[in-house]
Amino acid sequence: MGKKLKKPERKKATLGHFDHDDFLIKLSKRIKQLRKKNGFNSAELFAYDIEISRVGMSKYESGAFDDIRMRTLLKIIDGLGMTPSEFFSEGFD
């Protein structure tokens, strides 16, 4: 019988490459800044237009959230008339 082949060592993912809380703060600021810049003066009406909760929208703009669903974030970005790459092109350095 031959030798047992040794499995290659598995690459392990690690955390700590960026501050998650800081990212969420930047995300909040970016959402609010772009909403106002694009002429949507009311967060409540913007939320209504893109079919998300007005309470949720308020939380996303104030930074009072721990998580955001991807579909919700995509609705916000789309409602701003942007692509995800345009949305994330500034404000996240």
Q: Say if 41 falls within a structural domain.
A: yes
Average pLDDT value for residue range 30-57:
98
Q: Say if 75 falls within a structural domain.
A: yes
Average pLDDT value for residue range 4-23:
92
pLDDT at 6: 86
Domain that holds residue 29: 20-87
pLDDT at 53: 97
Give ∠ CA 73-32-23 in degrees, rounded to 5: 60
Q: Say if 31 falls within a structural domain.
A: yes
Whether the Cβ atoms of residue 34 and residue 40 lie closer than 8 Å to each other:
no
In percent, the amount of the chain with pLDDT more than 70 equals: 98
Average pLDDT of the chain is: 95
What global pTM score does this model have? 0.86
CATH code, 58: 1.10.260.40
pLDDT at 5: 85
Give the closest residue to 87 by CA, choosing from 50, 39, 32, 21.
32
Q: Say if 73 falls within a structural domain.
A: yes
Q: Say if 82 falls within a structural domain.
A: yes
Q: Say if 14 falls within a structural domain.
A: no
- Asked if residue 1 has pLDDT above 90, the reply is no
